[in-house]
Structure 1
Amino acid sequence: MNPVWEAHFQSKLTSLTETSQHRTLFVTEHAEKTWLVRNGKRMLNLASNNYLGLAGDEQLKEAAVEATKRYGTGATASRLVVGNYPLYEEIEQQICAWKETEKALIVNSGYTANVGAISSLVGRHDIVFSDKLNHASIVDGIVLSGAEHKRYRHNDLEHLERMLRSAPAEKRKLIVTDTIFSMDGDMAHLENLVILKEKYGALLMVDEAHAGGVYGKNGAGLAHNHPELAKRIDIHMGTFSKALGCYGAYITGSAVCIDYMINTMRGFIFTTALPPGTLGAIGKAIEIVSKDGTYRQRLIENGGYFRTALQEAGFYIGDSTTHIVPVIVGSNEAVLRFSMKLQEAGIAAIAIRPPTVPQYSSRIRFAVTAQHTNDDLQWAAQRIVQIGKEEGVI
């Protein structure tokens, strides 16, 4: 490598190390239900997005194997070339029934979905209004689109309305929000967002990544807590990689909107389709989630127990009301020490630092699952409280 470039990269890495923002990959050698082995140490897994425990489900494995045997290990091309296997059509119809929408489009990841959808929906003559705590993929999609980017304060819809009111009437407007915020565990105010989008003639796009499979009618997402409200939301994005235990993402909306994306979304047009085995597992996961609410109910109960245990011990968990429970620590150095002590005690809980979260709000992001037992969570809470006291977090 050119020594000038190498020195540049090393300088940046040194700066990240000095500010406790350097990141390192660790190998998870084995994972089963609520436990994993990392660096040879067995730990209770409180860091995974496998909210319903479906990633290891035997029915999903069998469906993936069956689809692989039938169609092979790879799609071999994009969907617009020869990668559009019958499974795609079948599962997109399944998604339409699940989400009660006109049309659905499967894409390769949540990041691809947000970046691709937003950058195809709007351009440099449009305005996007985005919650300040939206996922990075939403931010990146807005930047790539070239649209004017207006960030409203987190869940502050009075601030959003002031922005909408002052925006030029002739400009096309898109409002976009997470439904459950991935690092905070709180919820968007969807009913009021729908009112504002209709009042000001905007499109509304919601990201159900951390709500899909967990909330709403048949686990279809937070918006589907009220199916009639869900129908008034223009575009729903969700992932298969969290509660559904698979990989990939979907976008749903009107037939004309999805057809427009098929023809304009570069992340869809120029990407090889998902492997058939992944599609087989997705179809089975949607079937399970739609029919069986016991997973969802157990997850909601576990989230309530764990939030209460940490909050009553004195931890600051922000406005979390879900299965995502952040413990806000503050500095990068302090959160790294806290994370290390937790892992030494047998709890996999990872330090989350800027730019993933705002400056001075570094945290441990705990994620409970439906598979955690009461004993698991009680055991973990006791150790978290003990280490929190030792480290001065509480």
Structure 2
Amino acid sequence: MFDDHLQHIYDRATANSRIRTLTDFHSDGVHLWHEGVRYLSFASNDYLGIASSLARLADASLHGAGASRFVIGNHAAYAHTEALLAQIQHSEAALLFPSGYQAHLGVIPALLGKDDLIMMDKYAHACMVDGARLSGATVRRFRHNDLQHLSTLLAKHRSHARACMILTETVFSMDGDRAPLHALRALADSYDAWLMVDDAHGLGIPSSDSIVPIEVHTGTCSKSLGMIGGYVCGSRLLIDTLTQSARSLLFTTALPEAIVMRIAHGLDILMREPERGIKVMQLAQRFCAQCHLPVPSSPIIPIILGSNEHALSVHYALRELGMWVPAIRPPTVPEGTARLRISLSASHTEDQIDLLADYIARSDRLVKKPIG
């Protein structure tokens, strides 16, 4: 019976401290409210502190778009915002989607099909995985950031495919590390393959990888830009092609004008104030130095604890001290790598970072188990 099937899935999903619940939060800058208690938050993706700035922007047009962009949903704010996105990603053109997830569900199947090959990093986000599966292309996963494994797979499978695209991310959401884009570019060129890179967690964060040529550059407006929406950047021909063939763009309601205007506002801040990205990385380096962690590549800092129980214990210990640091568990991360995922913002202060480092050590003593 269907109910029995559902119960089996539920029981399996909630075993070993994996149960997840939907709960309400209210964000207030770098603080959040939960069940009437105010916490200093280290859970937001507001890396550059732009979301707080957007809250002060006067309301524009708050009504919905009413239809897809191809009916009556398009508006002037789109062209301006897409031009800014293209400029930031050093591309000829850009295309906005309602979300980053929808962007990948539309872009990958629009570009690849059953005669093609997709090489994808093992840690690539679920939206890339789902888009790749939806395309019907042959999908091969290479070990995370393992160039030798990717090279072996390309040597074995590339000659059998019409086209090949390598899928990865600039910054990986659970580990905070970066893809070796320069080396991936060289490998792609040697096998006549293309690069598709998701910049969801890397936008605005200082990096030397911005000079790497990339055929398909995707991202989201919900992290560093403090809003919602997704995008793809590339050549004018790429954008024109996707405008005709990306089904998740063609058959969905457009983003409201107010949302698109706020995306543009976030992009303006990002371009005017690059010091936000510099500051958040300085804070990340400060925290890691105090906690004797490796030099960070991004504002995402994982502290691997191993078991689900240990991660939850430290999470609750920090919560008792007024800190909200998420515990991330399988299947979101590999078995045996349950962790704290610390997400820093340019809106955090040095004092708050120092307090977090102190409380991490204090929570370690509270749970009677060493961190790391």
TM-score range, shorter chain: over 0.9
Structure 2 match to 1:333:
309
Unpaired stretches in structure 2, ≥5 consecutive residues: none
Q: CA deviation at 1:18?
A: 2.7
Structure 1 match to 2:353:
377
- Determine helix, strand or coil for the equivalent of 2:285: helix
User: Is contact 2:215-2:234 (8 Å) kept?
Assistant: yes
Whole-angstrom distance in 2 between the partners of 1:187 and 1:150: 20
> Quick check: 1:387 aligned with 2:363?
yes
Structure 2 match to 1:40:
36
> Quick check: 1:25 aligned with 2:22?
yes
Whole-angstrom distance in 2 between the partners of 1:311 and 1:77: 52
In the alignment, which of 146, 151, 174 is matched to residue 183 of structure 1? 174
CA 1:261–1:58 in 2, change beyond 3 Å: closer, same or farther?
Answer: closer
> Quick check: 1:279 aligned with 2:260?
yes
Structure 1 match to 2:229:
248
Q: CA deviation at 1:7?
A: 4.2
User: Is contact 2:54-2:226 (8 Å) kept?
Assistant: no
Structure 2 match to 1:288:
269
> TM-score, normalised to structure 2's length?
0.94
In the alignment, which of 299, 308, 331 is matched to residue 323 of structure 1? 299
Q: CA deviation at 1:126?
A: 0.9
1:248-286 Cα offsets, whole Å, 9 max, x none, are: 111011122222212221111111011111111111111
Question: Cα RMSD over matched residues?
Answer: 1.8
Structure 2 match to 1:219:
none
Whole-angstrom distance in 2 between the partners of 1:265 and 1:354: 32
Map 1:1-394; keep pairs closer than 5 Å: 4-28=1-25, 30-58=26-54, 61-62=57-58, 65-66=59-60, 68=61, 72-171=62-161, 172-216=163-207, 223-224=209-210, 226=211, 229=212, 232-311=213-292, 320-391=296-367, 392-394=369-371
User: Is contact 1:60-1:285 (8 Å) kept?
Assistant: no
User: Is contact 2:50-2:269 (8 Å) kept?
Assistant: no
CA 1:385–1:168 in 2, change beyond 3 Å: closer, same or farther?
Answer: same
Unpaired stretches in structure 1, ≥5 consecutive residues: 217-221
1:145-204 Cα offsets, whole Å, 9 max, x none, are: 121111111111111111112224251100010110110011110101111111111110
- Determine helix, strand or coil for the equivalent of 2:48: coil
Whole-angstrom distance in 2 between the partners of 1:6 and 1:152: 37
User: Is contact 2:329-2:338 (8 Å) kept?
Assistant: yes
Equivalences, count: 369
Whole-angstrom distance in 1 between the partners of 2:195 and 2:56: 33
Whole-angstrom distance in 2 between the partners of 1:272 and 1:130: 30
User: Is contact 2:86-2:234 (8 Å) kept?
Assistant: no
Whole-angstrom distance in 1 between the partners of 2:24 and 2:310: 23
> TM-score, normalised to structure 1's length?
0.89
